[in-house]
Structure 1
Amino acid sequence: GRKMSKSLGNGIEPQDIMNKLGADILRLWIASADYSNEMSLSQEILKRNADAYRRLRNTARFLLGNLDGFDPAQHLRPLNEMVALDRWIVHRAWELQEKIKAAFDSYNMAEIVQLLLNFCSVDLGSLYLDVTKDRLYTMPTDSHGRRSAQSAMYHIAEAFTRWIAPILTFTADELWGYLPGERAEHVLFTTWYDGLAPLPADAQLNAADFDQLLAVREQVAKVLEPMRANGAIGAALEAEITIAASEEQAAKWQPLADELRFLFISGDVQVRPATTDEVFVSAQPTQKTKCVRCWHHRADVGSNADHPELCGRCAGNITGAGEVRSWF
């Protein structure tokens, strides 16, 4: 709350910040500050910006790590052939890019920083990246489900690097060198990424459908939390979920039921019709055996004599053509 002054000896030199935290932390603070008012700076404020920077950097690091072995010229899946969840996250990235464009046009850097942090924390960190780990880590390397997830991550990484370039310039340049595929020499020589597109309104699962499913996902989390607290389950994968919804809604969700467990990161999911327009979620501990490879509790664990500790899905992913994923 006091101005920086030589006589008070409370000045913070930009060079000291760059030597200690890096130039991009200084740039991030400038971008996130409200320059229409007096701008505050302190070691605590710098620490918070360093934490925010790590969130952005760790997201990019996860995307790059899972693009290992991905060649867009060979492996990139068309948007209309992607697993539904992957197509949805590309839609979310497109929505975000439109907001970022508008914010840059109005020089609202603080809004851009907030949009980026929310996207990394909410859409990616607590949802998409968490859900897709199963596909990335358990499915065959060249399977459609895994390449679909990598394709979505490639699109996001391409766009993300451009989004941050005017603010986190050094980080963007560093990321640019690790992205797969042919590209310009420097990210600052490029413009907006044009590989993003909105979800068609007539998609099998459109944006409104995903909003409904994500609301149910929140309900599932609220049901499971007290079960974890009282020791009934140790993790969400140990709970079987039942969803009761209107006949119309249940009919729409029942074809997805076998894959909803991946969206909820839970045990088996059943969907049944109810005589109400509200959605009700209940759960009970599973009695099924845990697969040592994917950690899901499945009735067919041990069904493959060559892999007695694995579920049928994992055994097929190891020795066969692998599972098929359409939704999640």
Structure 2
Amino acid sequence: MHKSAGNAVAPEEFVKDSGADILRLWVVSSDFKEDMRCSDEILQRVSETYRKIRNTVRFALGNLDGFDPATDAVGLNEMQEIDRWALAELDVVITRVLEAYRTYEYHAVYHALYNFCTVTLSARYFDIIKDRLYTSAPKSHARRSAQTALNYIADALARMLAPILVFTADEIWENLPGVKGRRGGADAGAADEGGAVTASVHLAEFPVAGVGHDARLRERWVRLFEAREVVLRALEEARTSKLIGSGLEARVRIAAKRKTYELLEHYREELRYVFIVSQVSLTLLEEADAEELRVRVERADGRKCERCWNYSVRVGEFTRYPAVCERCVEALGEIEAEGGEAE
């Protein structure tokens, strides 16, 4: 668009239609050291980016119902490993974003936050923890661990987005649990230095890097996600061939060379959640084999749990809950013990 060509759009008209935050997002998406291009197509892409960022934060906030960071937050060392991984990835993003702000590289802020929201969070972390959030007992340690990470992530995103998406960041801030009268330390992802609580995110400090730093943890999960990509491709092929409908209908048999096998063996109990399947088995692959990893997909054993939709050979064993798996029986027992209604 160019004013002399007669195809320019007045900023106030765009703001009226799409909002000021999207216009501001377009500004930071462009490198101001070069020509800043604008067109309907570009603005549409920016609007889609905004939608993805907003939906990412909405998921985090939507799963914080009943969570009070002052009383429910789990200490970093007590969190489940994938939750600590998410905070380790957030730590990297905080460092990149603060440096980009310091050097006026606003387009770098845009790309760092977009990639974190769409890849690290939506495509990986959120995809894996949905099962735990939806099926664990509300006050269980497993769910509180995930909620602690989600609260810290939403809090940090609000602070980092504040200079760009000014209205959206304030909306996020207002919907963080325990904003009014909030107290807590860094693990809760809540308060500024000294425990002070501010009425607006624009009066708050940027998040502090270093809380979740763990380079070795990140390295392990890089390898796990490489294996996950191989498994996801095999699952997609199985869906295409009508062997399975969803990943939860699958049993995945993995053969891997020793280095990869030892990594996967270490996470054996977590693999079905990482791959989002019902069952996983591991075998060692000969070092002379040309492939590092082989994956075979089969139909899962057992029956479908009516509560979590995972397949288990133990569905039907429990008199009190004959239609659910052993994991859901435990969760329902916790809910009843807390005085809630099992469902």
Above 0.5 in TM-score? Answer: yes
CA RMSD of aligned residues (A): 1.8
How much does 1:9 deviate? 3.6
Deviation at 1:117, TM superposition (A): 1.1
1:50 Cα offset (Å): 1.0
Corresponding residue number in structure 2 for 1:295? 309
What residue number does 1:138 align with? 135
* Aligned residues with identical type, % of pairs: 38
* Secondary structure of 2:283's aligned partner: strand
Q: Match of 1:326?
A: none
- How far is 1:248 from its partner? 5.0
Q: Report the Cα distance in structure 2 between the residues aligned to 1:103 and 1:157, rounded to whole angstroms.
A: 20
What is the CA distance between 1:289 and its match in structure 2? 0.9
Q: 1-side partners of 2:314 and 2:51: how far apart?
A: 41
Matches within 5 A, 1:240-255: 240-247=251-258, 249-255=260-266
Letter in 1 for 2:268: A
* Alpha-carbon contact 2:252-2:297 (below 8 Å) kept: yes
Q: How many Å apart are 1:77 and its aligned residue?
A: 0.6
Q: What SS does structure 1 have at the residue aligned with 2:160?
A: helix
Matched, 1:317 2:314: no
Deviations 1:274-300 (A, max 9, x none): 222822222212242111110101111
What amino acid maps onto 1:110 in structure 2? H
Tell me how far 1:38 sits from its aligned partner: 2.1
* Aligned residue type for 2:278: G
What do the CA deviations read for 1:227-286 (whole angstroms, capped 9, x no partner)? 110101111111111222234543443242222100100121112222228222222122
Question: CA–CA distance in 2 between the matches of 1:53 and 1:15?
Answer: 19
> Match for residue 320 of structure 2?
306
Partner residue, 1:171: 168
Determine the structure 2 residue equivalent to 1:90.
87
Determine which structure has greater relative contact order: mean sequence separation of CA pairs < 8 Å that are 6+ residues apart, divided by chain length: 1
Q: Secondary structure at the match of 1:177?
A: helix
Deviation at 1:44, TM superposition (A): 2.2
CA apart distance, 1:65: 0.6
Is 1:282 aligned to residue 287 of structure 2?
Answer: no
Would you say how many aligned residue pairs link Structure 1 and Structure 2? 315
Partners of 2:171 and 2:48 in 1: CA distance: 19
Aligned to 2:213: 198
Q: In 1, are the aligned partners of 2:162 and 2:202 still within 8 Å (CA)?
A: yes
Deviations 1:67-122 (A, max 9, x none): 11110110111111000000000000001111111111121111111111111111
Partner-residue secondary structure (3-state), 2:177: coil
Choose the corresponding residue for 2:76, options 76, 79, 92. Answer: 79
Residue 270 of structure 2 is aligned with which of 249, 254, 259?
259
Which whole-Å CA distance do the structure 1 matches of 2:34 and 2:223 have between them? 40
Distance 1:53 1:33 in 2: 15
Partner of 1:23: 20
Would you say 1:156 and 2:139 are equivalent positions? no
Give, in whole Å, the separation in 2 of the partners of 1:40 and 1:99: 25
Q: Give, as a single letter, the amino acid of the residue that structure 1 aligns with 2:249.
A: E
CA distance in structure 2 between the aligned counterparts of 1:35 and 1:250, rounded to whole angstroms: 48
Are 1:127 and 2:138 counterparts? no
Structure 1: state its 5+ residue gaps. 323-328
Q: Which residue of 1 aligns with 2:2?
A: 3
| Separation in 2, partners of 1:282, 1:318 | 33
* SS of aligned partner of 1:304: coil
Q: Matches of 1:67 and 1:20 in 2, distance apart?
A: 31
**In 2, Cα distance between the equivalents of 1:124 and 1:224?**
21
Q: Confirm or deny: 8 A CA contact 2:255 2:284 kept in the other structure.
A: yes
Q: TM-score, normalised by structure 2?
A: 0.87
Paired residue for 1:269, among 268, 272, 280? 280
The one-letter code matched in structure 1 to 2:3 is M
Q: Quick one: distance in 2 between partners of 1:95 and 1:43?
A: 33
Does the Cα contact within 8 Å between 1:258 and 1:268 map onto a contact in 2? Answer: no
* Aligned-pair CA distance for 1:200: 6.1
Contact 1:254–1:271 under 8 Å retained in 2 = yes
The residue type equivalent to 1:260 in the other structure is: L
- CA distance in 1: counterparts of 2:112 and 2:81, whole angstroms: 24
Structure 1 residues 99 and 63 mapped into 2: Cα distance closer, same or farther (>3 Å)? same
**Structure 2: runs of 5 or more not aligned:** 183-196, 337-343
Residues 321/69 of structure 1: CA separation in 2 closer, same or farther (3 Å cut): closer
